[in-house]
Amino acid sequence: MVRAQHLYVHVPFCARRCVYCDFSIAVRRPVPEAEYVDAVRRELAIRHGESALDLRTMYFGGGTPSKLSPDGVARLIDAIAARARFAPDIETTLEANPEDVTAAVAREWQRAGVNRVSLGVQSFDAGVLAWMHRTHDAGQAARAIESLREAGIEELSLDLIFAVPAFLGRDWERDIEQALALRMPHVSVYGLTVESHTPLGRWVARSTVAEAPEESFEREFLAGSAALVQAGYEHYEVSNYSLPGHASRHNSSYWRRTAYAGLGPSAHEFDGRRRRWNVAPYADWVRRLREDQDPVEGQEVLQSQHEMAESVYLGLRTSAGLELSAEEVAHVEPWVRAGWANVSESRRAKLTPAGWLRLDTLAADLTHVRSRY
């Protein structure tokens, strides 16, 4: 087991559920932040006792962490600081919706220790935002970014979603252009996925909404990659792009299979061999902690074959690539000929954007090869 140097905190509160969202959220007005912060404090005490965490990154995800008041964010960070040592250069990321960001709020976040903000923009198209049930408009994203920069928070990321249904008439290239105009240090681009227990999943099941076809998914993914790379961004992971030196240190720890701790409803953690996850419903999580119970719902100890499969998959999904044996090189050669991969002289395989679209197939093939060793 390895002691975690990275911490994920799930803040589940949202103003409403987006049509595609399958995360553990709690729609609350007002947000019970005193109850929530106290529960996080109790979970830290139960899970980590008197031993202090030595943290290099913290990530507040959701849900919508920006639904906490600035004072709530500060008290949450203080609760963690009481049981952790922060590295001098700790990366502290807060996910936020554009409509929650004002100049005053941004200044308070910066004073509390937030030095990186990930904005859930998703699109600059008003019709797409309304269909998604997003609660901001296109203009609020630019204003939020300006406020954050004025407050001294320069490490900023922006999320976009592609492959929305064709009937929306969304101009994907225009969304990319507008994102580039903001010159964000980091951009994350995700394809719209249909989960069965979401409004979108029910619409698709009833055939009232049709998913974007695979051809559109591939075309938009490749167009986004080409435009961002041409603008100077490094496509360093399937869904993530950064200007040089601005990759997410926290998320990169997941892809390297580094140990991380997790707090909050549905939060996961990993100690190098064992993966644990908390109960998802907010009320259940709070109740267990009030009763001084660990809110863990389940856990698994990864066997060697699972560790192997994860290492292959995670290696292939980043620009760092995966080191191959001589036998494995032969399995990748058809991918090289198709333009889906490159293999260096040192036998390191790196997928191209077109190859990343077919990642699962190669990962399964190489895992099968390795399982025979």
Residue 1 has pLDDT above 60, yes or no: no
The rounded distance, in Å, linking the Cα atoms of 347 and 355 is 17
Q: Residue 221's closest CA among 234, 239, 237, 209?
A: 239
Secondary structure string (H, E, C) spanning 130-189: HHHCCCCCHHHHHHHHHHHHHCCCCEEEEEEEECCCHHHCCCHHHHHHHHHHCCCCEEEE
Tell me what pLDDT residue 369 has. Answer: 86
Higher pLDDT, 333 or 28: 333
The rounded distance, in Å, linking the Cα atoms of 118 and 62 is 11
> What DSSP element (H or E) covers 191?
strand 186-191
The 10s digit of each residue's pLDDT in 136-163 is 988 899 999 999 999 999 999 999 999 9
Tokens of 116: 């990186």
Q: How confident is the model at residue 2 (pLDDT cuts 50, 70, 90)?
A: low
The 10s digit of each residue's pLDDT in 70-98 is 999 999 999 999 999 999 999 999 999 99
Tokens of 163: 């492959």
Mean pLDDT computed over 249-262: 94
The pTM of the full predicted model, rounded to 2 decimals, is 0.94
E strand map for the chain: 6-11, 13-14, 26-27, 53-62, 84-96, 116-122, 155-162, 186-191, 234-237, 240-242, 261-263, 268-270, 274-278, 296-301, 322-323, 341-343, 348-351
Tell me what pLDDT residue 302 has. Answer: 87
The rounded distance, in Å, linking the Cα atoms of 242 and 148 is 18
Tell me what pLDDT residue 320 has. Answer: 94
Tell me what pLDDT residue 221 has. Answer: 97
The angle subtended at Cα 368 by Cα 364 and Cα 373, nearest 5°, is 145
Tell me what pLDDT residue 300 has. Answer: 94
Tell me what pLDDT residue 48 has. Answer: 86
**What average pLDDT does the structure give for the chain?**
94
Mean pLDDT computed over 256-264: 94
Residue 50 has pLDDT above 80, yes or no: no
The rounded distance, in Å, linking the Cα atoms of 68 and 189 is 25
Tokens of 346: 């040192």
Tell me what pLDDT residue 156 has. Answer: 98
Q: Provide the residue ranges of all domains of the chain, joining segments of one domain with +.
A: 6-255, 304-371
CATH 1.10.10 fits 304-371, yes or no: yes
HSE (CB half, 13 Å, CA atoms) of 153?
31
Residue 62 has pLDDT above 90, yes or no: yes
What is the share, in percent, of the chain residues with pLDDT greater than 90? 84
Mean pLDDT computed over 265-275: 93
Residue 276: helix, strand or coil by DSSP?
Answer: strand
The 10s digit of each residue's pLDDT in 120-141 is 999 999 999 999 999 898 889 9
CATH topology match: 6-255 vs 304-371: no
Q: How confident is the model at residue 25 (pLDDT cuts 50, 70, 90)?
A: confident
CB 115 within 8 A of CB 153: yes
DSSP 195: -
- Residues 97, 269, 349, 354, Cα dihedral to 10°: -30
CATH topology classification for 6-255? TIM Barrel (3.20.20)
Residue 115 has pLDDT above 60, yes or no: yes
Tell me what pLDDT residue 49 has. Answer: 79
The 10s digit of each residue's pLDDT in 284-331 is 999 999 999 999 999 999 888 888 999 999 999 999 999 999 889 998
